Chains A and B, each alone.
Chain A
Amino acid sequence: MAMIRPLSTAATPGEAGTGLGAPESRLPAHSRYVAVRALQRMVTAIRSNRKATWGFGLLVFFCLVSAFPGLIARDEPNAMAYPTALGPSAHHLLGTTGLGQDMFAQVIWGARPVLLIAFGAGIAATGIAVLIGVGAAYLGGFWDGGLNLLTDVLLVIPLFPLLIIIAGYLHSAGTLVMIFVITVTGWSYTARQLRAQALSLRNRDFLEAARVRGERRLYIVVVEIIPTMTSLIVASFLTNALYAVLFSTSLQFIGLGDPTIVSWGTMLRSAENNEAFQTGQALWIIAPGLCIVALGAAFALLNYAFDEIGNPALRPLRRKRVKQSG
């Protein structure tokens, strides 16, 4: 989780298509067509690209777990109802914590707040990024200058230290506060990418056509430009969601989250506080950590796979198979 965001999804201006064959009605058939195509390509990628399949599978798995935790783990995650520090057994799949809670129940129930933060902050930060990035590119002039400056300033202020001091003033940030803080500080990187792509679209023929037809600006932005940028918007969401997972669990680990919420980050916090190492409870540290890595990997693998689609040069080379016989 570098402070500089890695795995950048380069803007792929090729997405806009040529506009050939767009019917000459007032309907934005072109943009809708491009948006549907982009989504179809993602579905194809999930089916055929192994990284995307894994990423998608993991993500669906965690979504199901956090939607129905009660079906998977019967124990109350917070109840200190058992002997402490039991090893794994049929009753306690991962044993119990040093505080006598069922660890399996904690891991399962702990998925929900992490996913809520990932999707909440991911969607909200991407929304702001679209609004500011596309708005700046399309409005141009004074607005572009101002919004772009705001983006740049926020982009260079170190994000994680800023999050730490805000969370430090707030004391124990719950799920909603966490989503809010991560969103407000974290949208700038993707806003910049979205602006770059929107700028490259500005002089395309299909937008010119819409202008000549006399469409309003808002209409052009919402109906013509944004659908054309579908794949970059999805990539922005994946980036923002990944950072929300890493940042929120880190904040919880250092004790700036709400300690009463069962979450992977707070689990690691109490494992460290109760000296899980010294008492030989390695699972208390390994289990929630592996979950964080798996969820993060789901977002990162999807993002990397979509990157490969946008830039065919990056795709893995397949050795041509020589058929041995008929």
Chain B
Amino acid sequence: MRFALRRLAFFALTLWAALTLNFLLPRLMPGNPAVAMIAKFKGGVSPQALKALEIQFGVETHKSLVSQYGSYIVNMATGRFGTSLSQYPASVGHIVLNAIPWTLGLVGITTILAFILGTSIGILSAWRRGGALDSIMPPTFVITSVIPYFWLGLVLILVFGVQLKWLPYFFSYDYTLTPSFSAAFIGNVLQHAILPAATLLITTIGTWILTMRNTMITTLAEDYVRMARAKGLPNRRIMLDYAARNAILPNLTGFAMSLGFVLGGAILIEYVFNYQGVGYWLLAAVNNEDFPLMQALFLLITLAVLVAILISDIATAILDPRTRDAG
């Protein structure tokens, strides 16, 4: 119980830190970027929206920093993120809510796939130590894990999109179709997801393989595994029920955390493929100096990570009692 409370306190503290960063960053930057933004959008948005912006970013108000901070916190807590400037008059909340499902679908499913595939390959590679698979894999995946997402995306577009013309690489479905739950539309969405998902899978799977392989190797050297071999248990059982079962524990924590990073984890892939998820909108907001949208998306991405960490901490504490005192 004390453990859970401590983790909750940490959660609250980090959330507060992220909120405060969001508040302070535009005010600390040289040349006050908010002034430039407001000047840029003057005339394009209604006077009330402009006034709200000035208050939000502390431009031309006589309020003290402390009272600005107070009203900022209240606004964030009640979900009043303001109006988007680049997509005026759409509200920030509206854009964010439309973006979330696309990212969750694309990045979420790919992350789960990468974990399952990578962990299985890691188990096999550690089990067949010194085999062909095991000797080529570590160097290969050390290299795939340093490929920048965006560059691999560009190369896949070049090969499969432009040269071979096999797969679409722009947006998440054909502009000509209207979204519906028909087979044709869903098929089209899946087709558009293949290249971005492959990019993400190739660049992330190496980490799962290598960490699983390395913990599995350490576990295989344990006495209880030797005991199982001495008892003459079938190999499959030793591999899966004895070694992998324990070796996977630290990886599960990593997996829970990576689910939290889903929302902000594929920003560049969404950018390269013009896939209209959270990351795409974050970059669009940055490039258009749409600070209200940018702040809301950053908070959302951070919040997702914090919730995932909280859940994974508590789950680990339940699964593995030894960790309860450590945190």
Contacts and interface: CB of A to CB of B under 8 A. Distances in A.
A246 B254 contact: no
Summarize B's interface: helix, strand, loop or mixed: helix
Given A157-B302, A256-B286, A289-B154, A296 B207 contact: no
B46 interface: no
Interface in B239-269: 254, 257-258, 261, 264-265, 267-268
Given A254-B271, A272-B154, A313 B218 contact: yes
B21 to A, nearest CB: 7
Nearest to A150: B17
B96 to A, nearest CB: 14
Contacts of B282: 161, 164
Interface string A130-164: 00000000000000000001001100111011101
A322 interface: no
A164 B267 contact: yes
Interface stretch (A74-82, A96-104, A297-305): A297-305
Interface string A241-274: 0100010011001111000000000001000100
Contacts of A166: 25
B150 A169 contact: no
A300 B144 CA distance: 10
A304 B142 contact: yes
Nearest to B218: A313
Interface string A1-43: 1111011100000000000000000000000000000000000
A325 interface: no
A89 B18 CA distance: 52
Given A165-B25, A277-B157, A297-B142, A6 B206 contact: yes
A314 interface: yes
Interface string A307-326: 00001011011010000000
A277 B286 CA distance: 25
A143 B154 CA distance: 47
Interface in B133-171: 134-135, 138-139, 142-143, 145-151, 154-155, 157-158, 161-162
A277 B154 CA distance: 9
A285 B148 CA distance: 13
Query: By CB atoms of chain B within 10 A, which of A168, A286, A316 has the most?
Result: A168
B301 A158 contact: yes
A2 B207 contact: yes
Contact of A161 (B30, B161, B287, B298): B298
A218 interface: no
| Size bracket, chain A contacts | 35 or more
Contacts of A282: 158
B75 to A, nearest CB: 18
B21 A300 contact: no
A170 interface: yes
Contacts of A246: 146, 148
A210 interface: no
Interface stretch (B79-87, B209-217, B316-324): B209-217
Contact of B150 (A6, A162, A250): A250
Given A314-B214, A317-B129, A250 B17 contact: no
A292 interface: yes
B25 A158 contact: no
Contacts of A48: none
B298 A286 contact: no
Contacts of B149: 1, 250
Contact of B151 (A162, A164, A293, A300): A293
A157 B265 CA distance: 12
Contact of B138 (A156, A168, A304): A304
A301 B261 contact: no
B262 to A, nearest CB: 10
Nearest to A166: B25
B142 A277 contact: no
A293 B286 contact: no
Interface in A57-96: none
B291 to A, nearest CB: 8
Contacts of B203: 1-2
Given A4-B257, A6-B211, A297 B14 contact: no
A195 interface: no
Given A152-B10, A157-B21, A268-B151, A317 B207 contact: no
Nearest to B130: A317
Contact of B147 (A3, A242, A293): A293
Interface in B278-301: 282-283, 286-287, 289, 294-295, 297-298, 301
A165 B17 contact: no
Given A158-B302, A316-B130, A6 B207 contact: yes
B309 interface: yes
B223 to A, nearest CB: 15
A278 interface: yes
A51 to B, nearest CB: 6
A282 B211 CA distance: 34
A165 B286 contact: yes
Contacts of B264: 3, 158, 160-161
Contacts of A317: 129-130, 134
B221 A313 contact: yes
The 9 closest A-B pairs by CB, nearest first: A296-B146, A317-B130, A168-B286, A6-B207, A289-B151, A169-B29, A3-B261, A169-B33, A161-B264
Given A285-B154, A293-B148, 8 more contacts: A149-B13, A153-B13, A160-B267, A161-B301, A253-B150, A256-B286, A268-B154, A277-B161
8 contacts: A3-B258, A6-B145, A152-B14, A153-B17, A156-B305, A156-B306, A158-B261, A164-B283
